[in-house]
Amino acid sequence: MNNYELGEKGERPWGWWRVEEVGENFIKKTISVNVGGCLSLQSHKYRSEKWEILEGSAEVTVGENVAVYAEGQTVEIPVGAIHRLRNAGNKQLRVREIQLGDVLDESDIVRYQDIYGRDQNVFLADMDGTLTPARLPMTDDFAGIFLDFIRKNIFYVVSGSDLKKVREQMPKFILDEIAGLFCSMGNEFYVKDKLIYKNDFNPGADLLGRLENYRKNTKYEGQLFDNYIERRQGMLNFSVLGRNCSHDQRNAYKKWDDQHQERVRIAKELSELYPQYDISVGGNISIDIVPHGLGKEQVAAKVREKYPCAKIFFIGDRTKEGGNDYSLAQALLKLGNAEVVAVDGPEDTLRFLKKK
C-alpha cells in the first residue's frame, strides 16, 4: 500500500519534503531542513529508510548512535529503529530519502520527542472486559475495527493474564500490529513474540496456605474447579471457584459474588495481613496478588519514559479503587498528560475509539 503521490509536498516546522519518485514498495523524497531545524525523534512500523546527504551537514541519530554526515554520505535506517535528523551546519540541509516497505504512508510515524511540540497520543488498554468479553475471544466485528485503529495509532495492551491466555483471546494479527503487550500485570513485556523483560515472584508458604483455607471455607455452594492458585510471572492469581470452569459457571459465581462480596472481603483481609503486597479484585472470578511496585502501575513509568511528550489514554473496565486497573490509572494521572477512560465492555471501548 503506497499512499504517496508524485510531486506531493509537505510543509513542516523544520522545513519541507517533496515526493520525487513513486514505485512499487518504494518512494524517493527530497527533504530540506532549515538551519537549526530538527525532525522529531521517531520510528516507523512498516518501512525502512535510506538517507543520502545531498547538501549540508546532517546530525543523524539511529538508536544509541549519534554521528555527523557530510555531502555524499549515506545512512541506513532499519524498520522500527528510533532515529532523528538534524541540520548540524550553517546552511540549508538537503537529503534524499528512500522509503522501502509494503506500507508507505505519512501517518506511519511513532513520535517520541519533538522540539516543536507536536504531541502524539499513546493508547493503553486492559484486555478482559475491555477489548474482549471476559475470558472469551475478541469478536470478529471488534477485531476488524480495532485493527484499523491500531495501524494508525500507538497502542499497547496491558493484561493480568499470561501470554498463553492472551493468545487464546486475541488474534495473532492483532498481537502483531500492537506496539507491545504487557502480560501478568506488566511483569512480562512482549513485542510481537519477543520477550523484552520479565519479573519474578516467589510467594511464601503462609500466603499459599491462607489461600487454600479461603477455598476450603467458601460459602459458595456451586461446584469448584481446579487451577485456583495460578502462578504467573511476577504475580499470583487466586480464584475460589477455580479457573478450569465453563463460561456459564464463571457467570454463576460472579452473580453470587456480586451479592455476597466474597472477593472484596478476601482482598481486604489479605491486604491487612500482607501489606507488602498489592491485592485487587480482577476479572469476574479472581483476585490478583503482586509485590508492591510489580502491579499494572509499573507500566505507567515505562510508557511515560518512552513517550515523554505524548498524551496517554488508558482504557479499562476496573479503574475504580479495588479493581486491578486502578493502580495503573492513578499512576498515569499522577505523571500527568493522561486520561483514564472507564468502560463497561468492548462495545464501550469501540465507541471511544471511533471518536478518536
> Active-site residues: which are they?
126, 128
Angle at 14 between CA 11 and CA 15, to 5 degrees: 45
Among 336, 330, 328, 334, CA closest to 307: 336
Angle at 59 between CA 58 and CA 61, to 5 degrees: 130
Among 96, 84, 93, CA closest to 36: 93
Angle at 50 between CA 44 and CA 56, to 5 degrees: 115
Q: In angstroms, rounded to a whole number, what is the distance separating the alpha carbons of residues 43 and 179? A: 11
Dihedral angle of Cα 127, 167, 79, 354, to the nearest 10 degrees: -30
Report which secondary-structure segment, H or E, holds 86: strand 83-87
